[in-house]
Amino acid sequence: MIRRTAVVLALLASSLPLAADDWPQWGGPRGDLVWREGGIVKTLPAGGLLPRVWSTPIGEGYSGPAVADGKVYISDLVERQGRKGTERVHCLDADTGKILWTHATPVEYGIGYPAGPRATPVVDGNRVYTIGAVGDLFCFETATGKVVWQKSFQADYGTAMPTWGMAASPLVDGGQLITLVGGKGALLVSFDKTTGKELWRALDDKGIGYCPPVIFTFGESRQLIQWHPKAVSSLDPRDGRLLWEIPFEIRMGLCISTPRQAGNRLFLTAFYNGPMMLDVSPDGKGATITWKGKSDSEVNTDGLHAIMCTPWVGETHLYGVCSYGQLRCVDARTGERVWETRQATGEGRWWNAFIVPHEDRYFLHNEQGDLIIAKLSPKGYEELSRAKLVEPTRQVMKRMTIWSHPAFAMKSVFARNDKEIVRVDLSEK
């Protein structure tokens, strides 16, 4: 009887659907831009748009979606008249695409590319946090959209907007919400995530930048890393105390792509200034430059001069998209370029593609709206399949683009352009 019961329970368990992963913030569940769900397709159907589970109309914007607990969060801009418009935050049902609630905020832009919010929402339990393009920070109840607390970076901290607005997503760490703010002595601010009370503030940089704060552990030292136009700074996330700092002056404040950790090393890459690899000491109290690019040119580049797209960095090699669309492999130990290709991308200033590892391959979402499955190795680029995910809707120079990072969750990809947000099923069935 015991054996029969065990067999029945095993059969029942095997017939239940596997729990699906969420993508509750910029970078996914662990913030490392890796998709870890199993049971995902190995190839994509060729020809035309990928079939949608649903499509929901939205306005313009650059922010990516966040997916958690059966809901999708996305922000947009509507009613744009000159510099004025309305920023909205939407909560959608992840199964149907139906909008469950919307919160609207009047805004006035004095920033470049004034086409909507930039920062991906962050979901933490029953709260979701969003930051608008001109620094309106909200904490909402996920169930109702009720505002729990809010801040205005300009009104509360005197923040002078960077050229392209506030783009960095905030970071939840324990009871804190840590975010780029940019006021005097308050480049970074930690808030009590439940009440909005300020806990600490740190650093000073008029340039502010666009890079989100991240937390890495080096040895036994847990460190808050903030890359900003003057330097890359490491702080104690508990109180904002500076641990170490490496100067790295960035032209035009273009520190955008998220720093990447590989063991005890930290990698950064900028459009003009190029790449830099740091080695963090075992005790976490300091860092030294392992190697650094020698070119300050966006055209005559060395290594990797990325703009918006965060590269993938391993122990021996890294992969990323350079200033004019070159997908490159670089030796992570020396900074030497191994190969480059434009097969997955195109050619043009600021050309963009997002790289997300999955098992033994990579999903690439390029600015033309293609979703690509490929293998990347020191031997070269091997494309396995490609299909159209969404149409590019934003004109940059003479080409149409999408500069929004998709979310990979619930065995699906969630992506947006300036007209719609879609869900495409990528489960292997």
Q: Are residues 370 and 261 in the same domain?
A: yes
Task: Please report, for the domain that includes residue 217, its CATH number.
Answer: 2.40.10.480
pLDDT at 429: 79
In this structure, the dihedral spanned by the alpha carbons of residues 106, 110, 112 and 113, taken in order and rounded to 10 degrees, is 20
Q: What pLDDT shows up at residue 93?
A: 98
End position of a domain, from candidates 253, 287, 319 = 253
Report CA dihedral (320, 321, 327, 330) to the nearest 10 degrees.
-40
Predicted pLDDT of residue 20: 79
- The answer to the question of residue 114 being in a domain is no
The verdict on 329 and 295 lying in the same domain is yes
How many domains are contained in the chain? 2
Strands 327-331 and 312-313: unpaired
- Residue 377's domain comprises 256-408
290 and 350 fall within a common domain: yes
Note the pLDDT of residue 12: 37
- The CATH number linked to 351 is 2.130.10.10
Check whether residue 270 and residue 240 sit in a common domain: no
Q: Tally Cβ neighbours within 10 Å of residue 49.
A: 14
Q: Are residues 230 and 292 both part of a single domain?
A: no
Give the DSSP per-residue string, 350-365: T--EEEEEETTEEEEE
203 vs 189: CA distance, rounded Å: 9
Q: Which residues contact 204 (CB under 8 A, 6 or more apart)?
A: 184, 185, 186, 187
Q: Is 19 inside a domain boundary?
A: no
Residues of the chain predicted below pLDDT 50 = 1-18
Last residue of a domain, one of 253, 268, 291: 253
Shared domain check, 296 and 241? no
* pTM score: 0.94
The per-residue pLDDT for range 67-77, each reduced to its tens digit, is 999 999 999 99
> Is 41 part of a structural domain of the chain?
no
What pLDDT, on the 0 to 100 scale, is given for residue 235? 98
8 A C-beta contact, residue 322 and residue 308: no
Q: Which amino acid, 269?
A: T
Q: Residue 4: enclosing H or E segment and its boundaries?
A: helix 2-15
